[in-house]
Amino acid sequence: MSYLFTSESVSEGHPDKIADQISDALIDNFLAFDPESKVACETLVTTGQVILAGEVKSKTYLDVQQIARDVIKKIGYTKSDYMFEANSCGILSAIHEQSQDINQGVDRSSKEEQGAGDQGMMFGYATNETENYMPLALDLSHALLRELANLRRENSEITYLRPDAKSQVTLEYSDDNKPQRIDAIVISTQHDDFDEEATMLAKIKSDLVSILIPRVKAKYPQYAHLFNDQITYHINPTGKFVIGGPHGDTGLTGRKIIVDTYGGKGAHGGGAFSGKDPSKVDRSAAYATRHIAKNLVAAGLADEVLVQVSYAIGVAKPTSINVVTYGTAKVGLTDGEISKKVESIFDMRPYFIEQRLKLRNPIYSETAAYGHMGRTPETVTKTFRTPNGEEKSVTVELFTWEKLDYTDQVKTAFGI
């Protein structure tokens, strides 16, 4: 009996994602001028207002208001009609110094013994159902919104789009867990006002089905065969969507953790990523477990892998490492035996994660929309400025946890 599975995504203009992007822009600026910065920044956005809060230990000083405004402008909130606009919104900062009680558990005289910034469990997942080893429904949900954002910025084929949007894709799977077709697509996009609602709804649905969908199929040809004329489209199913963004819905950092990871596949430990420096294992260990899972699947160890790691605050060595292959392992070992071998290949102490994945660099703004996983590693040069006019250009590697740089070691260790 076939079954259905659904994942969702949200655009960079969604209020929660605005908050994530501001928090991660602050992280990048702190790390650019002081790589040892310890930061936990939360952002709230609502009608005409941004509130920044959190804890920081850093040697640098930043104009946090200007950083937030630059992010909002880049996303596209540049018109007063949106009731949330980059140049005019109020910005309140309540950022203060990090608690010494927390810091004493992280910093050590020997960097190798750096303790975990918090307790908790983190998960990484990978599947071979896509080229980037991500769950297909989530990959498609992200693709729809990335292309919708491209159409909004081009402002030529579709001219009425506003920044806030959500998508959802439902796939039909066969009994042997292979995706067969797209069953349903949901897209809700904010838009300019129309004179007549019925005309508006017909126009938006027609444009998205006849312009957006063909562009997605052309850009992602590996998924084109999944589209069919039986897809159920729900385009702006509630009707009018003029009031959106932070004016329509308050946004908070860390409220889209499933969009950020695997769309409901695998598991999630509950910790958000954005606004946290890599001493916070919620972030760094989640990246490290994704790195492990992806390299295991790419090496041919299994078709599907879930990796769990857990920590005690202030303690370097993980309290547990576990690998689950869902019965798809290609080697004659139990999951427990696989876990022991994995532990010997990947050092999961926080300092070694930071070094292996180059996490003490300003690489986080790019992660804050359209998912932290399944992205393409690349090297870029970024420029940052302080309020006193200091400018710094930094060349960094983005999405290092997506690199397939351990497959040979995995193959050797498991005799693949």
* Residue list, annotated binding site for K(+): 42
Alpha-helical regions (H) of 165-244: 197-207, 213-219
**Cα distance between residue 186 and residue 145, in whole Å:** 11
DSSP track, 54-74: EEEE-S----HHHHHHHHHHH
Distances in Å between the alpha carbon of 42 and those of 60, 65, 106, 369? Answer: 19, 14, 20, 16
Task: Show binding-site residues for ATP.
Answer: 14, 164-166, 240-241, 249, 255-256, 272, 276
Strand partners, 95: 54
Task: Show binding-site residues for L-methionine.
Answer: 55, 98, 249, 280
**Cα distance between residue 253 and residue 255, in whole Å:** 6
Task: Show binding-site residues.
Answer: 14, 16, 42, 55, 98, 164-166, 240-241, 249, 255-256, 272, 276, 280
DSSP track, 244-309: -HHHHS-EETT--HHHHTTTTSS---S---TTB-TTSHHHHHHHHHHHHHHHHHHTTSBSEEEEEE
The torsion angle over the Cα atoms of residues 297, 308, 347 and 285, rounded to 10 degrees, is 100
- CB neighbourhood size of 344 (10 A): 8
Task: Show binding-site residues for Mg(2+).
Answer: 16
